[in-house]
Amino acid sequence: MQKSLSLLSLSLLLVACGGGEKDDPIINPTPNPDVPSNPSNPSNPSNPESTLGLYHEQYRPQIHYTPAKNWVNDPNGMVYVDGVWHLFYQYNPYGNDWGNMSWGHATTKDLIHWTEQEVALKRDELGDIFSGSAVVDKDNTAGFGANAVVALYTSAGEHQQQSLAYSTDGAMHFTTYEGNPIIPNTTRGDFRDPKVFWYEPTQQWVMSLALGWSCGIEFWTSRDLRTWKYASTFETDIVRCHNCQWECPDLIQLPINTVGADGQLVPTGDSKWVLIVNVNPGGPTAGSGIMCFVGEFDGETFTPDALDYPMWMDFGMDNYAGVTWSNNPDGRKILLGWMNNWLYSGAVPCSPWRSAFTLPRELSLVDIEGKPYIANHVVKEIETIANSWSESTNASSLTIAPAQGQSLNAYQLQITLPRNENCTFSISNEKGEKLEFSTNTIYNTLSAKRTSATGATVSSFSTPSVNAKMLGKEPTITLDIYVDQSSVEVFSADGTLTMTNLVFPSTIYNQLTAPASATGIRYRTLESIWK
């Protein structure tokens, strides 16, 4: 750990993917004894009184999911059931700081508009409910009924153990399995965040488990989701991948695309396995981040290809604990991340909620000069809240204007830059708060600098420039930039450059200052999802 980290930052870094060290002196995972053991969700927006005046606060995201109130972190148990996308997440039902870890719950039919539901899983005699996953048991392998939704999670008490709960009403209510823990543990330290999927060739369930500071991922297999057998451990000798905790793993198979002459992605028909590992600290700049390995999986063992690691899914400061939905229609692999960083997560100036989630991203691999790279694209469902594009311009100054009679909730900005010169551009507001970007032809990078991005005081927030590699050799690079009330997400056209950063301007950025060489500048406003 860097000596320059504050005491607050150091304590927050100990908080794992959904949890923290059990002897942490600052964060107490024990529920508040003054709170009833089984209260109704204080942030359930189905109760009109609970949402009165909410969703219009300063910094409240208008196109990203947040609960009405209270602390959130890792997305958990994401599963698609009968036309509904379910998002579960680490949640404190009783306050706006980390603690009392439970599974919050929200649902959507379009990945954009969300409805908050009752808290799904709460602390029990085995401890807090840490991160995990959920699957649809189509063939009743577990014996809870065909198409039961089975949630697997870490019970975090004296030890981290794996537990199970099941739902027979489409993931709306869960019953805790009486045989918990299904993978007991009385000796290990870090042993958590089960991510489960069905591996068709061997007709088995496969579970990935993170080993924290031991920097490894274990794979376990099962025929019935209740009885599990250890299969293998993935580790690496790459030093850069060792200065961190390994958390929240996800093993998925992704299609490989190439970039066509028109800049569009073209499927090759091939695929690779990708092991997602969330790490904290040790991210691409500082704090937490999402690391990927690409290779092969035979049902028990993951073998990485010889590539340049670590491979980062997102080069910004604020995309962490990213995992994918299960049981997706059409085989889409869609990821959601926690939009925050453990360096300053408890200090971000949000109230009565704290933290949001990224826009959902569809994942693939892109072949560039014979090597596969992880790619992100905002899901196509963003079109449901998108207005018409403005006319394209090459002007060096542009004001983003809302529709007549409306306020500016959020918008998508598109800009094309030449690769053969260093370029600088910024988005800002009337108070001079700005987020600056620059390209570097020597290192072929895009940098973001948020030193002047906010008027708010946020612990450890002013970091060095965040740098992302611009892959490919095309003469220009086109960027899509999604701007919300307190975040900016940047995507290259091929998806291999992604940069997610929190910002806390007094008002949303509505001015673009661009170099004379920029072309194809346009924007479209995005409607609030809370209307």
Closest CA to 10 of 315, 287, 349, 337: 287
Q: How far is CA 421 from CA 408, 417, 439, 456, 476, in A?
A: 33, 9, 8, 34, 10
Helices (H), strands (E): how many in the chain? 2, 34
Residue written as tokens 């404190």? 92
CA distance 45 to 66: 11
* Six-digit token string for 21: 């060290």
- Please report the DSSP string for 422-489 in residue order: --EEEEE-TTS-EEEEEEETTTTEEEEE-TTS-SS--TT--PSPEEEE--S--SEEEEEEEE-SSEEE
CA dihedral of 298, 302, 307, 308, whole degrees rounded to 10: 160
Residue written as tokens 């030890």? 159
SS3 5: coil
Residue written as tokens 């709960």? 165
Alpha-helix residue ranges (DSSP H) falling in 26-118: 48-51
Backbone angles phi, psi at 383, to 5 degrees: -60, -20
Contact between residue 89 and residue 79 where contact means Cβ atoms under 8 Å apart: no
Q: What angle do CA 71, 73, 76 make, to 5 degrees?
A: 125
CA distance 514 to 217: 44
SS3 59: coil
Number of CB atoms found within 10 A of residue 292's CB: 24
Residue 285's contacts (CB-CB under 8 Å, 6 or more residues apart) are 315, 317, 463, 464, 466, 467
148-156 and 128-137 strand pairing: antiparallel
Contact between residue 233 and residue 217 where contact means Cβ atoms under 8 Å apart: yes
Query: Which residue out of 23, 34, 74, 305 is catalytically annotated?
Result: 74
Annotated catalytic residue 74: yes
Active-site positions read 74
